[in-house]
Each structure stands twice: as C-alpha cells, then as structure tokens.
C-alpha cells in the first residue's frame, strides 16, 4: 500500500458524523433503469472495488442498496455523476471529486466507513475498473458523458516545481483562504502543527503551548540571554510570540502567505511584542547576511521538496552562529512520498508537497554540516491534534461553509479525517530532528542529558 493510499484511509477510533448538508444538495435523479434497480446494475462494479462482500452498505439514488445493514454506516451514491467522476478518474481522486461535488456522501460514522473501505480496497489509489463492464453499467444508469468540470478548489500550480514563484503559489492556495476559517478549525492558538499532549494538558490549546515550549527548550532558548531566533514558516505567529514572551527571544518569523503575515503582525501588536518580534513575507532562500542563535522550522518542511532539501539545510546552517541549534519538525514517510499526481491531498490540499523519510532528513542535515543530536517521533500526538481539529470543524460546520463554501469545507473534513487515520496506523509519522552547528573546535554547547527539555514531561 502506498503512502498516499494510507493517508486517505480514515480511522474508526472516534465517530465523525455528517448531516446531509455536509455532503450534497443536488436533487436525486430518477433512475433510468427499467425493470431493475441501480444496485443490481452496479453490483459487479461494487464487487470489483469492495469485494464480493462489501464491508459497508452502499445506497443509491433510487433507494436500492448493497451490503450489510447495521455496520458502521453507509456510502450514499446520490447521483450518476458520482460514477462519472470515478470513470474519468479511477481511484481516490475520482471519489474525492464526487464527494466535493456532493454526488457522494456518507451516513453514520464517516471515519469508520472509510476505514472499512480502505481495508477492503487497499489499492484504491490505483484502482483499475474493467473498462467494458464499467461503460456498460454506466450507460444503463445514465452516467456516461463528458467529464464534469473539476471543482475550482483543485489546484493547478504553474512554473518550475519548487521555484520561488511556484512555492509562493501553492502556499497561498493552502493558506490564503480565510484567517477566520483557520481560527475556527485550529482554535484560539492558531497553531497549524502537531500539538504535544502531556499529563497536565487540559485540551488542544494547552497542548499547543506545551509543543511551543518543547521546541524552545530543545533549542536552548535562555530567558537570561536575548537570543535571536529565526522561525521558518511562522504561520500566524504563535511560536514566535511564545518564544519572545516566555524566553525573551528576539524573533524573525517568515512566511510566504500575505494573509498569515497580516494576522501574525496584528497578534504580535496585541501581545505588546513589536519590539522583539518581526514578521516578514520572505522566502528562506532570500535570507542572507543575517545570523541567528537558533532556528525553528515547524510544519513548513513538507513544502521544501527533496530537490531543495540540500539548499534548505545549507541555507539554515549558514544563518546559524556556532553552537546554534536547528529544530526541524516535519511529517515523514518511510521511503518518502510526493503528494501530487492523482492523489486527493496533492491536488486539493498540499500541491507539490513532499513527505520525506526521516533517515534522508538526518543525512541531508549532516551533509549540510549539522551534527544531529536528537530525533523524536510525535505520531500519536498528531492523531489527537487532528481529531480535535475535526471536532472543531464539525461543531461549527455552518459557519465554516459561510466562510469558505461547502466544497472547501468538505475538502478540509476529508483531508483532516484521512490524515488522522494515516498517523493512527503508522502510514505516516512526524519527527522532530534537532541539529547543531558545531563550533570551530567541535564544541556543541549541548547539555549532557535531555533533562533540560524533558523536565515536567511524562
């Protein structure tokens, strides 16, 4: 099973229930089938995809269905257009388009339903439907026709992959949608990365504070010294604000998103930290002639790409003072995975995104001159983080739709629920890799043990 397929499965650990308005408003068409039901006509195709004993019920627009009753829920095929989307883009991309259009929906626990579908069809991302059988069945139910228009939410970046111009395009595609929407999903901390849950965490917000504090302590920020910190991919400023307020750091935060920078600057002003926190719209490759005591890169590395990994770490190494530390916090994948092509996440969520193997990351940091001192996985923490975000979105669904539209809201629901499952089953992970730039004689400035960043953590 590929990483992309693992990412797009869903976990059954927590129910995620959708109301009808969350997946479709098109009126159900009358069945074009004479003398039989849609379910009977499409039974062979359902068996090709889900096996001879589908794990969940599949219900069609004429109220016919296949599969067991009383399972975790049902797949609702609301229109022949759902089949048309699948015929033109077999696999997860076609299914995602049908969901985003509203032609495909779910009744009951969406996470459990899609987890069951993924387990029954592990090669869903590379689905091959027998052409003649599919066309014949599609004709009988009125699904043959020209491809539907792609949802406008599907990205089509232009230019050279991972060039400065194209990187700016894809960052803005993902982030410049609505600051209010992100606050609704992420919560008041506006932190778009894995939280860190401890025994004293009382919820998502305190877990995000714990994550920021963990990063600061791993970087060796010292309240007694005015250290200079570079926060690469600063988001809406939460990490920069915490480092300045709790550790007295002078922080430069950079992002390629104008919307992020605008709100981050406002939050810095509201915190009274304008003298110590600067937010820039700037590419990391344009940082020259400056020096920092520490660098944090939290939730940004996924946008860098394997082809630019050496450039990335070399650039950050040059910016660090001797004994300065870099903390790289990023989603990882065994063997690496490019989120593009015909994957749902590559088309709708993270165009040009790449998940790299943590082993490659360590080697690339060493090649750039870093000494790697610590590697830690926070995989289970991201499962809890994503479930919290899904809860936030569903609790304020109507408001989310008002802010970004129902199709983009569906994109986010599918993406976050799918990602939670990917972390839950280990298909993807997340690692914090800590490296230092050694001094002229090899000195590291590192403490003898991890106690300095693990105190109070159980």
Every domain of the chain and the residues it spans: 3-140, 164-454
Tell me which DSSP letter residue 226 carries.
Answer: -
> Of 345, 334, 362, 343, which Cα lies nearest the Cα of 432?
362
* Pair of tokens at residue 197: 């849950």
What's the rounded Cα separation, in Å, for the pair 98 and 404? 19
What is residue 124's predicted lDDT score, i.e. its pLDDT?
63
Count the Cβ atoms, other than its own, within 10 Å of residue 124.
21
Identify whether the C-beta of residue 298 lies closer than 8 Å to the C-beta of residue 326.
no
Predicted confidence at residue 339, as pLDDT, reads 64
In degrees to the nearest 10, what's the CA dihedral of 278, 157, 368, 227?
A: 10
pTM over the 0.75 mark:
yes
For 112, list phi and psi in degrees, rounded to 5: -65, -40
d(CA 423, CA 200): 23
Give the list of residues 6+ apart from residue 416 with CB closer than 8 angstroms, or none.
Answer: 185, 386, 389, 390, 393
**For position 308, what pLDDT does the model report?**
92
How confident is the model at residue 27, as a pLDDT?
A: 42
Nearest CA to 213 out of 183, 241, 253 is that of 241
The pLDDT value recorded for residue 34 is: 58
Taking the domain 164-454, which CATH number applies? 3.40.50.150
Rounded CA-CA distance 421/417 in Å is 7
Q: Which helix (H) or strand (E) element contains residue 298? A: strand 292-298
pLDDT for the residue 284: 92
* 375 three-state secondary structure: strand
Q: Which residues of the chain have pLDDT under 70?
A: 1-35, 122-132, 338-341, 455-458
The average confidence (pLDDT) of the chain is 86
């Amino acid at each position: 099973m590929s990483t992309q397929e693992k990412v797009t499965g869903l976990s059954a650990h927590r129910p995620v229930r959708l109301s009808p308005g969350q997946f479709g408003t098109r009126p159900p068409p009358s069945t074009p089938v004479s003398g039989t039901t849609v379910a009977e006509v499409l039974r062979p195709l359902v068996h090709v995809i889900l096996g001879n004993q589908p794990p969940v019920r599949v219900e069609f627009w004429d109220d016919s269905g296949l599969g067991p009753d009383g399972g975790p829920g049902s797949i609702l095929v609301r229109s022949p257009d759902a089949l048309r989307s699948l015929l033109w883009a077999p696999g997860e991309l076609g299914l995602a388009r049908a969901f985003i259009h509203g032609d495909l929906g779910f009744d009951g626990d969406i996470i459990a339903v899609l987890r069951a579908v993924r387990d029954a069809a592990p090669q869903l991302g590379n689905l091959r439907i027998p052409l003649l059988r599919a066309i014949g069945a599609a004709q009988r139910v009125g699904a043959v026709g020209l491809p539907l228009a792609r949802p406008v939410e599907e990205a089509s970046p232009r230019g050279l992959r991972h060039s400065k111009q194209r990187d700016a395009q894809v960052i803005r595609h993902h982030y410049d949608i609505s600051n209010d929407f992100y606050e609704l999903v992420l919560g008041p901390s506006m932190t778009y990365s894995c939280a860190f849950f401890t025994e004293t965490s009382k919820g998502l917000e305190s877990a995000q504070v714990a994550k920021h504090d963990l990063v600061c302590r791993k970087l060796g920020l010292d309240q007694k010294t005015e250290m200079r910190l570079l926060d690469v991919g600063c988001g809406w400023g939460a990490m920069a604000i915490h480092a300045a307020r709790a550790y007295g750091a002078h922080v430069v935060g950079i992002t390629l998103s104008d919307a992020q920078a605008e709100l981050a600057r406002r939050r810095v002003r509201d915190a009274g930290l304008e003298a110590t926190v600067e937010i820039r719209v700037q590419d990391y490759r344009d940082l020259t002639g400056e020096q920092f005591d520490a660098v944090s890169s939290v939730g940004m590395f996924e946008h860098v790409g394997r082809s630019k990994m050496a450039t990335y770490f070399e650039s950050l190494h040059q910016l660090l003072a001797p004994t300065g530390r870099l903390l790289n916090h990023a989603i990882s994948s065994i063997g690496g995975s490019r989120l593009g092509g015909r994957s749902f996440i590559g088309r709708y969520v993270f165009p040009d995104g790449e998940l790299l193997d943590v082993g490659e990351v360590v080697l690339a940091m060493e090649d750039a001159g870093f000494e790697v001192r610590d590697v830690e996985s926070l995989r289970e923490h991201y499962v809890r983080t994503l479930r919290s975000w899904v809860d936030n979105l569903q609790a304020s669904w109507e408001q989310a739709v008002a802010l970004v539209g129902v199709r983009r809201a569906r994109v986010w629901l599918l993406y976050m629920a799918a990602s939670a499952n990917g972390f839950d089953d280990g298909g993807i992970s997340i690692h914090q890799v800590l490296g230092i730039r050694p001094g002229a004689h090899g000195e590291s400035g590192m403490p003898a043990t991890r106690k300095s960043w693990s105190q109070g953590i159980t």
